[in-house]
Structure 1
Amino acid sequence: MGKETKLFCIPYSGGSAEVYRKWSKSLYSDIQLIPVELPGRGKRIFEPLQDDLNTIVEDIAATIVSHVDSNDNYAIYGHSLGSLVTFETYYKLIEKGLHKPQHIFFSGRNAPQDRLNRTSIHRLPDEQFLHAVMSYGGNTHEIIHNQELLNLFLPILRADFKVSETYDHQEKKEKIASDFTVINGRNDHSATMYDMSEWRYYAGGAATFHTVDGGHFFIIENYGPVVDIINQTLTISGKILERQ
């Protein structure tokens, strides 16, 4: 790849940026992993919890802008809710005058304009809400049986589901100029009910699709193939950039 690429990773509903840390050992040495924490979550737990997408996008865009110089290569990876946030953040970054990412990875979520199966899980009473969240998998079972964790995570989970479920897609005037990759879990029921090829609608460059083994949390349970895709993709796109 030659020149270093800064890889910004945005977490899923209820997730902390820390979930991406273990990737660093498997990423190529010229990919710098930068997990991005959302306000009110993870290391930023003592900041006000945001449940407004525009506020979150503005926050993440400011973080990325502060890390990226004019001659830096950078890429963004978002999983589940993080995919939606990444999509909107791309347009915010362009609006702010930052050069386009080398590549974008959308993971574990249907295309933003595809709203066929709208849900309102975030409005459910606690018990029903947690039962619905558990259907996605992950570590929800541990949280439910620990009152302290439950008190901490319930507001975060509810806020994140609200961001996702109240999303009002506004048609973008421009397609995404960066090439992007869509990655899906073979047994991810939250995504397989959708036509993932709908992401092509926003492709201004190349759109590549991968399916890996695993459910909704394949980025934790089976992250090896995901990191392989990132390594190969950024190597190829880096060589193309060097020729330009």
Structure 2
Amino acid sequence: MGNWISTWPGGPEDTALPALLCLPPAGAGCQQFRAWQPPLAGTAQVYGVQLPGRENRWREPMPDTFGEAVEAIAGELVRMVGTDRPLVVFGHSFGGLLGYELARRVTPRALVVSACRAPGHWDGAGRGIVDDEDELDKLFDTAGLDPAFLDHDTRALMVEMLRKDARLSLSYAHTPGARLGVPVHAWGSDGDETVSSAELDGWAAVTTAGFHRHRTTGGHHAVLRRPEPVLEHLAGLLRGDDTRLPRTA
């Protein structure tokens, strides 16, 4: 079994820096976050969560349940980062849900989610991706990928990864309990047809330490396409300077 968490060099004293854990959306791998390390050099060491079935783990089977994946990630995170090192968790879309459940098991400095409905709104999410070809085409369009311009093998691989993650999300059931004792920051986009404003507002109910809404434009994956505002935001949280947050568009 391969590693659930990847990291990339950022300087000679990486382990002394705060840690930023990044969780990608459904159907994606974590290598996209490699590009986040240079802008955060000297501020944080970036770590990416890698689920099986993609990139360097493409031959490995998926876990049977959402909870099994979370426990595996949490165990490896503690071994790699420890429990005393400052940590910020960032998750995009499906990665935000994973990030939330991780934050219930570890104690990050903050949880940042983008384009992600609150846990109480996840019941049944992903069923359309599993069962409906038209829903899959909509998802490709949301990601800016025209299925007509993808070769058959590439599209088949992407569809299979999306469906694996969608099946994993269907095993998730939110169990209300103690609320998080860390602030939650939720990023949404005015052009996102996948996550509604009410679903983002639902994050306020999961924390006792403050809820903050941030907005941008450009669709469901806007934060990943234009990450500069989020990187500035994350850098402030990693420094422990919550007063220097970016203006939201």
TM-score normalised over the length of structure 2: 0.82
Q: Are 1:46 and 2:59 counterparts?
A: yes
Residue in 1 that maps onto 2:40: 27
Map of 1:196 onto structure 2: 200
Partner amino acid for 2:212? T
What CA deviation, in whole Å up to 9, does each residue of 1:11-68 have, x standing for no partner?
A: 1011110111112222252211111111222221121133621121122112211112
Could you tell me how far apart the structure 1 residues matched to 2:148 and 2:81 are?
A: 36
Matches of 1:143 and 1:194 in 2, distance apart? 33
Please say if 1:132 is aligned against 2:138.
yes
Deviations 1:80-108 (A, max 9, x none): 00011111122233xxxxxx111111111
Would the aligned equivalents of 1:51 and 1:163 in 2 still touch at CA under 8 Å? yes
Question: In structure 1, the residue corresponding to 2:25 is in which secondary structure?
Answer: coil
Q: Does 1:169 align with 2:174?
A: yes
* Unmatched tracts of structure 1, length 5 or more: 94-99, 240-244
Contact 1:183 1:210 in 2 (8 A): yes
Q: CA deviation at 1:237?
A: 4.7
Deviating 4+ runs (over 4 angstroms): 115-119
Structure 2 contact 137–147 (Cα < 8 Å) conserved: no
Shift of residue 142 of structure 1?
Answer: 5.8
Partner of 1:97: none
Structure 1 Cα separation of the partners of residues 83 and 136 of structure 2: 44
Q: Partner letter of residue 157 of structure 1?
A: L
C-alpha change, 1:118 and 1:20, in structure 2 (3 Å) is: closer
Partner of 2:108: 101
1:112-140: CA deviation from partner (whole Å, max 9, x where unpaired): 11258856213325x4343232242243x
Partner Cα distance (2:64, 2:201) in 1: 28
Structure 1 equivalent of residue 4 of structure 2: none
Matched with 1:113 is 120
Residue identity in the other structure for 1:87:
Y
Contact 1:79 1:108 (8 Å CA) reproduced: yes
Kept in 1, the 8 Å contact 2:43–2:235? The answer is: no
Cross-structure match for 1:146: 151
* 1:158 corresponding residue in structure 2: 163
Identity, % of aligned positions: 23
Aligned to 1:65: 78
Aligned-partner Cα distance in 1 for 2:48–2:166? 20
Counterpart Cα distance in 2 of 1:230 and 1:21: 15
For this pair of structures, how many residues does the alignment match? 228
Q: Which residue of 2 aligns with 1:218?
A: 222
Q: 1:198 to 1:129 in 2, by over 3 A?
A: closer
CA-based RMSD of the aligned residues comes to 2.5
Take 1:71 and 1:115, find their aligned partners in 2: how far apart are those partners? 31
Separation of aligned partners in 1, 2:148 and 2:110: 35
Q: CA deviation at 1:229?
A: 1.1
Secondary structure of 1:122 counterpart: helix
Contact 1:51 1:160 in 2 (8 A): no
Secondary structure of 1:78's match? strand
Any conservation in 2 of the 1:38–1:44 contact (CA below 8 Å)?
A: yes
Q: Which runs of 5+ in 2 are unaligned?
A: 1-15, 244-249
